[in-house]
């Protein structure tokens, strides 16, 4: 079976493609390779996937293209007759959405609507797509649950992800497309994004440069290691929501529509200053700290209630922050030849 992964040169897309290749699938990857962060890292991921696919004798085919190009998507679906699609392509970043909102409308909304349209006109078994913990906005009640009302996003990025969930629901309701949306909570690990905290902190500490600490360090994040994300994604991909499926406690999933929304997090939030201390301990070097006010569009705390997901896929993330940071720093030093 050929599986489509959009955003396949991205952090999560890369790791998922590698897992699916290992499981015996042929993987079709699509990514526009935009310059939001270092394109060389994206090319390095693709090179790794190409080598890995040859090593295990499975096929990885890559197309450099935008999902906003619906004619390309129509031809791709016609050529490969996908049964399963994972849409991870999106313009990422809360802070960047303040500066460049048009990029989020183009990729996250127009692009996703194209994905839904081509899925509607195919024999698709399951669409899995990336949402975000950002949809919870400024909600103070912790942990965040899928039952909570999320109609007050505090960034355009968050609004675009909530829009994806609503669009997917309408297509599932109208056309019976089985779809599962996943609200990711601060994913980190080897091959991670350079705009994320762990990457930025590691790079700055190694280079003796100051790190920027927002909200003067009074923040907490539900850091979720990439291996736990990929295991969850793989299980979700193979657990297809059905119209007559038994309803669960997830308010977005209780109607007779083949549609699910789940949190994916570690359910063990870590204070930001403890996270930084762990990085310092593993690197063996103290950070130069620059304490700043909260940035526009950001939130103080995230904490995932993953009860519904655990019930659905019989899996709970288990990687400790200490182990996850160690794995990332080892990769970083090797990839960037740090001695």
99, part of any domain = yes
**What is the count of structural domains for the chain?**
1
* Distance from C-alpha of 158 to C-alpha of 43, rounded to nearest angstrom: 28
User: Known catalytic residue: 61?
Assistant: no
214, part of any domain = no
* DSSP run (H or E) holding 45: helix 39-56
330, part of any domain = no
User: For 155-196, how does the pLDDT look when each residue is reduced to its tens digit (9 = 90+)?
Assistant: 999 999 999 999 999 999 999 999 999 999 999 999 999 999
State the residue range of the domain holding 260: 2-190+224-267+303-318
Q: What is the percent of the chain where pLDDT is above 70?
A: 96
* Distance from C-alpha of 200 to C-alpha of 195, rounded to nearest angstrom: 6
Helices (H) and strands (E) in the chain, counts: 12, 13
123, part of any domain = yes
**Does position 1 have pLDDT exceeding 60, yes or no?**
yes
pLDDT bin (cut points 50, 70, 90) of residue 307 is very high
* CATH number, position 82: 3.40.50.720
* Distance from C-alpha of 103 to C-alpha of 89, rounded to nearest angstrom: 12
User: For 226-236, how does the pLDDT look when each residue is reduced to its tens digit (9 = 90+)?
Assistant: 999 999 999 99
69, part of any domain = yes
Task: Summarize the confidence of residues 303-322 as an average pLDDT.
Answer: 96
Enumerate residues 6+ apart whose C-beta is below 8 A from 38: 194
Q: In 207-283, where does DSSP find H-type helix?
A: 226-237, 272-283
Burial tier of 166 (Cβ tally within 10 Å: 0-12, 13-18, 19+): exposed
Q: What is the percent of the chain where pLDDT is above 90?
A: 88
pLDDT bin (cut points 50, 70, 90) of residue 247 is very low
24, part of any domain = yes
pTM for this model (two decimals): 0.94
What pLDDT, on the 0 to 100 scale, is given for residue 243?
A: 77
72, part of any domain = yes
Options 157, 188, 303, 332, the catalytic residue? 157
39, part of any domain = yes
């Amino acid at each position: 079976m050929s599986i489509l992964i959009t955003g396949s040169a991205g952090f999560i897309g890369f790791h998922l493609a590698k897992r699916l290749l290992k499981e015996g699938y042929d993987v079709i990857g699509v990514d526009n390779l935009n310059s939001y962060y270092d394109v060389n890292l994206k090319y390095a991921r693709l090179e790794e996937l190409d080598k890995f696919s040859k090593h295990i004798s499975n096929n990885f085919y890559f197309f450099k293209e935008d999902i906003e190009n619906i004619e390309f998507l129509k031809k791709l679906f016609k050529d490969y007759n996908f049964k399963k699609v994972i849409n991870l392509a999106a313009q990422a970043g809360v802070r960047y959405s303040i500066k460049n909102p048009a990029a989020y409308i183009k990729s996250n909304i127009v692009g996703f609507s194209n994905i839904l349209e081509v899925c509607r006109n195919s024999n698709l078994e399951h669409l899995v797509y990336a949402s975000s913990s950002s949809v919870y906005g400024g909600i103070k009640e912790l942990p965040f649950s899928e039952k909570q009302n999320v109609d007050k996003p505090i960034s355009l990025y968050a609004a675009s992800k909530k829009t994806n969930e609503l669009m997917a629901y309408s297509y599932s309701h109208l056309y019976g497309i089985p779809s599962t949306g996943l609200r990711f909570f601060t994913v980190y690990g080897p091959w991670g994004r350079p705009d994320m905290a762990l990457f930025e902190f590691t790079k700055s500490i190694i280079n003796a440069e100051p790190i920027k600490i927002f909200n003067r360090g009074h923040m907490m994040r539900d850091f979720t290691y990439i291996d736990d994300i990929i295991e969850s994604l793989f299980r979700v991909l193979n657990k297809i929501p059905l119209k007559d499926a038994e309803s669960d406690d997830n308010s977005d999933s209780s109607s007779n529509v083949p549609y699910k929304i789940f949190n994916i997090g570690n359910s063990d939030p870590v204070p930001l200053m403890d996270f930084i201390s762990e990085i310092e301990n593993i690197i063996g070097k103290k950070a130069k700290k620059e304490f700043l006010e909260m940035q526009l569009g950001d939130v103080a705390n995230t904490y995932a209630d993953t009860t519904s997901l655990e019930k659905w896929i019989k899996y709970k993330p288990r990687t400790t922050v200490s182990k996850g940071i160690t794995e990332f720093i080892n990769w970083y030093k090797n990839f960037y030849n740090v001695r």
